[in-house]
Amino acid sequence: MSETLNLTLKVWRQSSPSAAGEFKTYKVREISTHMSFLEMLDVLNEDLTQQGEEPIAFDHDCREGICGMCGLMINGQAHGPDKTTTTCQLHMRRFNNHDTIVIEPWRAEAFPVLKDLAVDRSAFDRVIAAGGYVSVNVGNAPDGNAMPVPKERADKAFDSATCIGCGACVAACKNASAMLFVGAKVSQFALLPQGVPERQRRVEAMVAKMDEEGFGGCTNTYECEAACPAGITVENIARLNREFLGAVLSSEPASA
């Protein structure tokens, strides 16, 4: 493989949420194969700035695969061709010299485009806020053995909590479903005793907010799991459905 790449980029450009967007073609040359994908975009933006053109807007923050800000559709795949890898952790050695790379923002009604490749993912924040807080004592840290939790449940809760809220599951789903994200957020509390007091109210409120925000229903194609950089599994969707059904069936009927 060449140590440097000459590439053709087809990038979605959209000046504002209400503007009509279009793909624009750019050439980048002598891109090091050791660069990350976002570093390659940085090089392109430096070139555009020097040419007096508007740089491409894209979301990023930690660039360490932790924050979940950097989601892009790369050649039709959320975060690109590598599994369990965020866009910022994708390296240019994954591509070949003279490749053409198509770069788009997340495509979902609930994630409106703000500018170019940057989208508004605040719908996720509102879903989490709808779940509320955990009513546990907030004094000194309790003794580690004060509330025993079976290791299997603790491990599953931890696995669910690794969701970084990037939105790849929504972007990859043909129905723009947020079931994997919501399932992970519900699971991380439902599996632990600290989350029990608000268990039923939490899942009902989060599912209601998910629907209100315009996310679609689960398509059962598992594309969300395949696209997730944190490796969140569809087991969380099954748990979300069980939690929601249990909450609905045990709810007090509305008074006449």
> In CATH, which superfamily holds the domain spanning 122-250?
Alpha-helical ferredoxin (1.10.1060.10)
**Which contacts of 143-147 are long-range, i.e. CB under 8 A and separated by 24 or more positions?**
147/193, 147/194
CA neighbor of 160 nearest in space, from 191, 130, 187, 132 = 187
pLDDT given for residue 255 in this prediction: 43
Same fold? 4-114, 122-250 = no
Confirm if 105 and 72 have CB atoms less than 8 A apart: yes
CA 25, 30, 34: angle at the middle one, nearest 5?
105
Mean pLDDT, consecutive 10-residue stretches, the chain (256 aa), reads 88 96 97 97 98 97 95 97 97 97 97 98 97 76 76 94 97 97 96 90 97 96 97 97 94 52
* pLDDT the model gives residue 256: 37
Tell me how far apart the alpha carbons of residues 25 and 84 are, in angstroms, rounded to a whole number.
28
10 Å CB burial of residue 27 (0-12, 13-18, 19+) is exposed
> According to the model, what pLDDT value does residue 138 have?
58
Domain spans of the chain?
Answer: 4-114, 122-250
pLDDT of residue 133: 84
- Return the pLDDT at 2: 58
pLDDT value at position 137?
66
4-114 is classed CATH 1.20.990.10: no
